[in-house]
Chain A
Amino acid sequence: MGEETLVKVVKVWVRSGGYGVVDLTETVKDVVRVEGLREGLVTVFTPEPGCSVTMIEYEPGLMKDLERVVKEYCGANPALAEALVGKFAAAPVINGEVALGAFKHFVLVDLSRRAGVKEVLVTLEGVHGGAEVQD
């Protein structure tokens, strides 16, 4: 497989109950692996109204703590939560591995109160291919 430096945007969809968090980490790792990004940056963004993307340990107690923060600072307004929590997160990719370190996950925070399938854009920027990619 040849080596190529490029930017690619991959749309993925995840199911959400409309209020809560969805762990995106394995989905993002899958996209990096399948697309063959070897060295570069992976950016995760959601265009969905009322939804945010951030990086945090995905642990039930901590998710309740995050909910407390969002309620305290943003009330019941999902638009304010989008501004506080943010719409994107990103991490470097080294030798095909997403360099997150211990416990850090990509997480979708959904306060939209609309259950369904949510769009997430995964942008891959950097050197693709040139190494064995197991699929």
Chain B
Amino acid sequence: MKVFTAVLRFRTNGPSGIYDLTDALRSVIKASGVGEGVAWVSAKGATPALLIVRDDAVDDAVRCAEGMFPAIPPGEPWEHGNAYAHLRSTVLSTLKAVPVLNGEPALPQGYGLYFLETRPVQNHLRQVVVQVHG
């Protein structure tokens, strides 16, 4: 077994910016030379989230994420200023696994791997680690 690591770097806008990483994932898998294995994808930081979602449901998924963790009880602020972003990140997860078959990500047709920016940022540098084991 070998391990191949690449770090994707890109800039985000938010809140609720959504970025399709599927082509980048495919490129890293190709560069790894791995035919059969698994690609671990991990977003650095404590507020983003990674989603594997059907392409035509991406907008609905973003709206769904925006509705997660309103203040409990309503109107009573969270202790932490960015709690909503941290909690979405924790529950949706910054880690995803995608199997690799025949040198390709084994995502169903019409599905993609997406990065969700949860914070109200502009031109924010983000890093996603793609590690292919196989």
Contacts and interface: CB of A to CB of B under 8 A. Distances in A.
Main secondary structure of the interface of B (DSSP, over half): mixed
Given A39-B5, A66-B87, A91-B95, A99 B79 contact: no
Interface string A97-110: 00111111100000
Interface residues of A, number: 35
A79 interface: no
Contacts of B10: none
Most buried by B among A40, A65, A72, A99: A65
Interface in A44-89: 54-57, 59-62, 64-66, 68-69, 72, 84-85, 89
Q: Which bracket fits the contact residues of B?
A: 20 to 34
Given A100-B44, A101-B44, A62 B83 contact: yes
B118 to A, nearest CB: 13
- Of the listed residues B40, B90, B94, B95, the one surrounded by the most CB atoms of chain A closer than 10 A to its CB is B90
Given A69-B69, A94-B5, A104 B131 contact: no
Contacts of A100: 44
Contacts of B72: 68-69, 72
A127 interface: yes
A60 B86 CA distance: 13
Interface of A: 5, 39-41, 54-57, 59-62, 64-66, 68-69, 72, 84-85, 89-92, 94, 99-105, 125-127
Interface of B: 1-3, 5, 7, 40, 42-46, 69, 72, 78-80, 83, 86-87, 89-91, 93-95, 127, 129, 131, 133
